[in-house]
Structure 1
Amino acid sequence: MPSKITAIKPQERRKDRVNIFLDDEYAFSLQSILAAGLRHGQELTEEDVRRLQQQDAVETMYENALHYLSFRPRSEQEMRRYLRKRGADEDITEQVLGRLKRAGLINDAEFVRFWIENRETHRPRSAWVLRTELRQKGISEEQIALALSDLDEESSALNAARRVVSRWESLDEETFYRRLLGYLQRRGFSYEISRRVADHLWDAMEAQKGTALNERALPDEHKERNSKEWE
């Protein structure tokens, strides 16, 4: 038997939601946008109520998903796990994911590009580490292989090393190598790549030190030469 809407009242704490009263009793709440099509005196069947509550659950989860995306892009699997953790059933999860995909907000190919570029810019990692991270986020092996095919690991390792090498400029050679090799290998780079990068940076530092010593010596040489000219 249908029930009649006897009141539609805005919630005090959440202005975006309203409480629906059927036959003078509180029945359920809805987002205001969904309640816009309802009117006082309208009759609702049990099926109507279930449909409205389902739509409300989808809208609520969609808003949660947008909030989750506001921090950074997400893979499809990340979003799926998040929605299920928030209590969405399979049907609601698929509806929300469908809307996000149609809006271009969930796209695994774009997510992979974002992830690798972000790592390269802020926290360079080896291909092995990147592959592991992307697998954990549900990215397919095919997409991972394609995205990593152009990765220059030695360049990534050099980029990572340059961020910290200034800390160790005053160290002796053995300590410098031990610390830099350990730093790079903890980020997944092979010993061979780490060693080549360490060799390059050590040689560059030594050359720079030699140049600095020569520049400091030049004034003394000029001073001695000028002194002899005045004798």
Structure 2
Amino acid sequence: MKIHLDSGQAFRVTKEVVLQAGLRTGLTLTGDQVRDLLDRDALERIYDRVLHFLSYRPRSESEVRHYLARKRTPPEILQSIVERLKREGLIDDDAFARFWVENRCTFSPRGQRLLRQELRLKGLASSVIEENLPQDDEESAYAAAAKRARALAQADWETFCRKLLPFLQRRGFAYDTAKGAVARLWKESRQPS
């Protein structure tokens, strides 16, 4: 909304700021009040940008902090926005970790090692990471390799292992876990349907 002053100056602020300040026609504003309105408006605009950033997918607190830092947000405003987002439940590292692990396990199965690394890169605490990692790496390894194993149905044991073991290890599965999944898939592929 546009605010006109008696001096002929005008400036714009968001509707939220107008409502928060209780502005109405004919109200007299001091210089300090005008500066306060402009500061509140800057805060609201940055907050709106962060909401847009969060609209694509959930984010960790660290990702939001990095985003705001890249936008050259002053530290006191950055802290204020992060606290507000936490209060409103819009950033929650524990919920983010659950989302990330669930998404990865569903669409692109990965081992605990790779998931742990991804979550660390997202800035999550080790305790949050450990409590949200999947417990059954064997099933994840099996699911990750099943499609590739079907393409190798005609391969011999050596080729089957040479292709699948490194594939699973690149996805963060431990050697023993990958070996177990490959053996299970080999056995299943050799049984008559």
TM-score by length of 1: 0.75
Counterpart of 1:164 in structure 2: which amino acid? R
Identity %: 42
In the alignment, structure 1 segments of 5+ residues that lack a partner are 1-17, 213-231
Separation (CA, whole Å) in 1 of partners of 2:45 and 2:154: 57
Structure 1 segment 1-231 matched on structure 2, within 5 A: 18-22=1-5, 23-26=7-10, 28-36=11-19, 37-148=22-133, 151-207=135-191, 211-212=192-193
Answer 1 or 2: which has greater strand percent. 1
Query: CA offsets, 1:80-130, max 9 Å, x none?
Result: 111222232112212221221111111111111111111111111111111
Separation (CA, whole Å) in 2 of partners of 1:66 and 1:89: 18
Of the two, which has the highest radius of gyration? 1
Choose between structure 1 and 2 for higher RCO, CA contacts under 8 A separated by at least 6 residues: 2
Counterpart of 1:144 in structure 2: which amino acid? I
Separation (CA, whole Å) in 1 of partners of 2:168 and 2:53: 32
8 Å Cα contact 1:57/1:92 also seen in 2: no
TM-score by length of 2: 0.89
Separation (CA, whole Å) in 2 of partners of 1:135 and 1:116: 12
Separation (CA, whole Å) in 2 of partners of 1:143 and 1:40: 51
The alignment's C-alpha RMSD in Å is 1.8
Separation (CA, whole Å) in 2 of partners of 1:107 and 1:168: 42
Separation (CA, whole Å) in 1 of partners of 2:175 and 2:105: 19
Residue 3 of structure 2 aligns to a residue in which SS? Answer: strand
